[in-house]
Amino acid sequence: METKNLKKNQAVWRPLSVGDIPSLVQVADRVHPDLPESNEVFAERARLFPQGCLGLFDDAGELHGYIISHPIRYCEPPALNQLLGKIESNADQYYIHDLAILRGIRGSGLAHACLNMILESVAKRYATTGLVSVYGTAKFWGRYGFETPEAVDRVLEKKILDYGEEAVYLERKNEMHIYD
């Protein structure tokens, strides 16, 4: 998988299909070599909540990045490489599980476009959006209003340890709620 220098007009975010998962895992392994997750984990999330699982594709159909996101119970994200089983009917927080873009196209505005799309649509159904920031990326997430919450319980602290030394749980308040 070659990293290309793509521009906004050369790539598009679209829903992931099960057939995209092997390419997604290749991207994940390059971006997050110390945070491996199985094909089954990614496939399950794409199946359970397709509107929150998007791939960044070039005009040849090659995957260059992805976002995996879905609803959870407040401050109860799944552990690394854990299957969900289902999206709980009482889920009350949106969760960005992973945003990964290959190095050669970072800085192109494509991550920004994806995050705006997710945060301004499906995430607004929930009062807050949470995520685990890895590799010292809290400053990046801060641009989107993500902050460290006042308190993080011990169960969540333990889950965060699996994401590495620099991992920190962040959340943001969503501006508007849309109730179905």
Q: Does residue 17 lie in a domain region?
A: yes
123 within 8 A of 155, measured Cβ to Cβ: no
| 2 located within any domain | no
Name the nearest CA neighbour of 145 among 105, 88, 104, 94. Answer: 94
Structural domains counted in the chain: 1
Q: Give the model confidence (pLDDT) of 46-86 as tens digits.
A: 999 999 999 999 999 999 999 999 999 999 999 999 999 99
CA 141 to chain centre: 12
Residue range(s) defining the domain that contains residue 91: 8-173
Q: Which residues of 94-115 are buried (b: 16+ CB within 10 A; e: fewer)?
A: bbbbbbbbbeebeebebbeebb
Q: Are strands 11-15 and 63-72 parallel, antiparallel or unpaired?
A: unpaired
Q: What is the CATH number of the domain that holds 119?
A: 3.40.630.30
Place of tokens 């906004």: 8
Condensed to tens digits (0 to 9), the pLDDT of residues 77-106 reads: 999 999 999 999 999 999 999 999 998 888
